Homo-oligomer: A and B are copies of this chain.
Amino acid sequence: MALNSPTPEALSKLSQIVGSENIFQDAETRDAYSRDETEDLSFLPDVVVKPGSTEEICKILKLASAERIPVTPRGGGTGLSGGSLPIKGGILLSLERLDKILEIDKNNLICVTQPAVTTQTLQEAVEAENLFYPVDPASRGTCAIGGNVAENSGGPRAAKYGVTKDYVLGLTAVLPSGEIIKTGGKLFKDVTGYNLTGIIVGSEGTLCVITEIILKLLPLPTCRTMLQIPFPDLESAAGMVSKILRAGIVPSALEFMERDAILAAKEQLGLTMGFDDAAAQLLIELDGTSQELIDSEVERIGELALENGALDVLLAESSAKQDELWKIRRSLGEAVKQCSIYKEEDTVVPRDKIPELLRRVKELCKQRNISSICYGHAGDGNIHVNLLKENLPDDVWERDLPDIVRELFAIVVDLGGSLTGEHGVGYVQRDYISIMKSDVEIALMRRLKDSFDPLGILNPGKIFPEIQET
């Protein structure tokens, strides 16, 4: 179905809905909202609209439905798959004014929030009440919790604490028709009808616009320790994951970084963590409410690491030292970005397949004469593979990259993995989805999309390959 740019009349109606101070058509604003953190893509919206309430969003979507105007919702704009890029133009719906934490409910260990609160702001607000929201994407300082819900964000703590979907108890959302739905509630069990919450989380803004979120919280762990463990080769480091799990220990984070990622942080950002010459390093965080238990887990992990060839086992007990290590870990994406033109893929495999994934990625890159930098959340099998252009001629890079990505994804699927663990399909992975999903599965997902968005106005061009109109 053809989509339209907003007419002058539609723009005037939009201005009446949100107020003239919350609608923008100037080139500078449109440009600012044409990008997210995904490589160097830019798609200009016709208009940027910043509603202040669920009701205003209803009116905007009713208008957009009536006029067939594409609407692309946007949270913090920190996405890595182009999910919030208005690739068909139309209305860029920025949720930034919905930025209030509505309630921290200590009786029920629940938080109710609007979507534009940053993850870090939410984490700090609940921590002040001795509560804990564990999902911790690297962009937590600027990403929006609503974006986390839309993308089903993960981060390093997924092995122990799960991902965003494991914390969303309920939602208020606006359908593309402008109708409001509520799902779930302050409820830890709820099977009245289909699990709409479950299908909306991770739907990348393609099914509805999320305007209120009910999150489960946990008691704040009182103890935390971190280990830095350098290894002489990638596979010994990656092989630790299964060994730790088999020992009955589930760390709150188990991060893998190869040498070039750590060197990039040093060279590009001046951050250093020691053992620069180790082929790979693990950062392992343990948390809980018993220091004695953590100490015994530290000891066991240390033994396992040395048996597995670790160069050393370094304990970071002070929170200052832990913060320093986390800062380096979180900076890797930015550091790699500054090294070279690159393409980041967000692969995930069964945890015991990480060594094989790394081996095959390196083989692939060698064959293709490019380099790669790998790091990520080994505790849950989620490895970010950065393919680097470096000195490759532009035309060779442009020509070969899609094939290299296809080959990478074929390896991932062969290992029982998935194309994306936490970044989403969005715009940049949409043409690869059929490597992993069957025609039957893609057709079913398209029907699900239609059941929410029959006119196809909401975040068009995402997740699914474009159907060539004939």
Residue-wise interface mask of A (419-449) relative to B, using a CB-CB cutoff of 8 A (1 in contact, 0 not): 1111111000100010011101110110111
Q: Looking at the assembled complex, report how far the CB atom of A360 sits from the nearest CB atom of chain B, in whole angstroms.
A: 17
A344 near B: Cβ within 8 Å?
no
Interchain CB contact under 8 A, B441 and A182: yes
**Which A162-199 residues have C-beta < 8 A from chain B?**
162-163, 165-166, 175, 179-183, 185-199
Task: Give A197's nearest chain B residue, CB to CB.
Answer: B198
Task: Give A179's nearest chain B residue, CB to CB.
Answer: B440
In the bound complex, what is the Cα–Cα distance between A159 and B187 (angstroms)?
Answer: 10
A109 near B: Cβ within 8 Å?
yes
Beyond A192-B437, A417-B185, A420-B192, whether A352 also contacts B198 by CB under 8 A is: no
Interchain CB contact under 8 A, B107 and A189: no
In the bound complex, what is the Cα–Cα distance between A197 and B418 (angstroms)?
Answer: 14
In the bound complex, what is the Cα–Cα distance between A351 and B190 (angstroms)?
Answer: 13
Interchain CB contact under 8 A, B107 and A352: yes
In the bound complex, what is the Cα–Cα distance between A447 and B451 (angstroms)?
Answer: 5
A350 near B: Cβ within 8 Å?
yes
When all copies of this chain in the complex are counted, the total is: 2
In the bound complex, what is the Cα–Cα distance between A181 and B292 (angstroms)?
Answer: 46
Number of A interface residues in the complex (CB < 8 A): 89
Beyond A191-B152, A198-B165, A351-B107, whether A185 also contacts B242 by CB under 8 A is: no
Interchain CB contact under 8 A, A438 and B201: no
Task: Give A447's nearest chain B residue, CB to CB.
Answer: B451
In the bound complex, what is the Cα–Cα distance between A352 and B425 (angstroms)?
Answer: 39
Interchain CB contact under 8 A, B154 and A189: yes
Interchain CB contact under 8 A, B418 and A187: yes
Q: Looking at the assembled complex, report how far the CB atom of A391 sits from the nearest CB atom of chain B, in whole angstroms.
A: 32
Interface-lining segment among A13-21, A48-56, A245-253, A304-312: A245-253
In the bound complex, what is the Cα–Cα distance between A179 and B182 (angstroms)?
Answer: 32
In the bound complex, what is the Cα–Cα distance between A335 and B292 (angstroms)?
Answer: 44
Interchain CB contact under 8 A, A166 and B166: yes
Q: Looking at the assembled complex, report how far the CB atom of A159 sits from the nearest CB atom of chain B, in whole angstroms.
A: 6
Select A108's contact among B130, B352, B425, B433, beta carbons within 8 Å.
B352
Task: Give A247's nearest chain B residue, CB to CB.
Answer: B219
Residue with the highest number of chain B CB atoms closer than 10 Å, among A194, A417, A423: A194
In the bound complex, what is the Cα–Cα distance between A441 and B194 (angstroms)?
Answer: 10
Q: Looking at the assembled complex, report how far the CB atom of A188 sits from the nearest CB atom of chain B, in whole angstroms.
A: 4
- For A425, list chain B residues within 8 Å (CB): 191-193
**Which A186-216 residues have C-beta < 8 A from chain B?**
186-199, 201-203
A366 near B: Cβ within 8 Å?
no
Interchain CB contact under 8 A, B380 and A416: no
- For A193, list chain B residues within 8 Å (CB): 425, 433, 437, 441-442, 445, 463
Interchain CB contact under 8 A, B191 and A420: yes
A348 near B: Cβ within 8 Å?
yes
Q: Looking at the assembled complex, report how far the CB atom of A137 sits from the nearest CB atom of chain B, in whole angstroms.
A: 12
In the bound complex, what is the Cα–Cα distance between A166 and B161 (angstroms)?
Answer: 11
**Which A213-260 residues have C-beta < 8 A from chain B?**
218-220, 242, 245-246, 248-250
Task: Give A246's nearest chain B residue, CB to CB.
Answer: B106
- For A165, list chain B residues within 8 Å (CB): 195, 198
Select A436's contact among B175, B192, B377, B381, beta carbons within 8 Å.
B192
- For A201, list chain B residues within 8 Å (CB): 195, 198
Interchain CB contact under 8 A, B350 and A423: no
Interchain CB contact under 8 A, A418 and B192: yes
In the bound complex, what is the Cα–Cα distance between A192 and B437 (angstroms)?
Answer: 8
Q: Looking at the assembled complex, report how far the CB atom of A396 sits from the nearest CB atom of chain B, in whole angstroms.
A: 28
In the bound complex, what is the Cα–Cα distance between A159 and B441 (angstroms)?
Answer: 33
A158 near B: Cβ within 8 Å?
yes
A450 near B: Cβ within 8 Å?
yes
In the bound complex, what is the Cα–Cα distance between A109 and B182 (angstroms)?
Answer: 35
Select A416's contact among B159, B185, B429, beta carbons within 8 Å.
B185
In the bound complex, what is the Cα–Cα distance between A42 and B293 (angstroms)?
Answer: 53
Enumerate the 9 nearest inter-chain pairs by beta-carbon distance, A residue then B residue, closest first: A198-B198, A189-B421, A447-B451, A219-B248, A107-B352, A188-B380, A186-B350, A107-B242, A190-B418
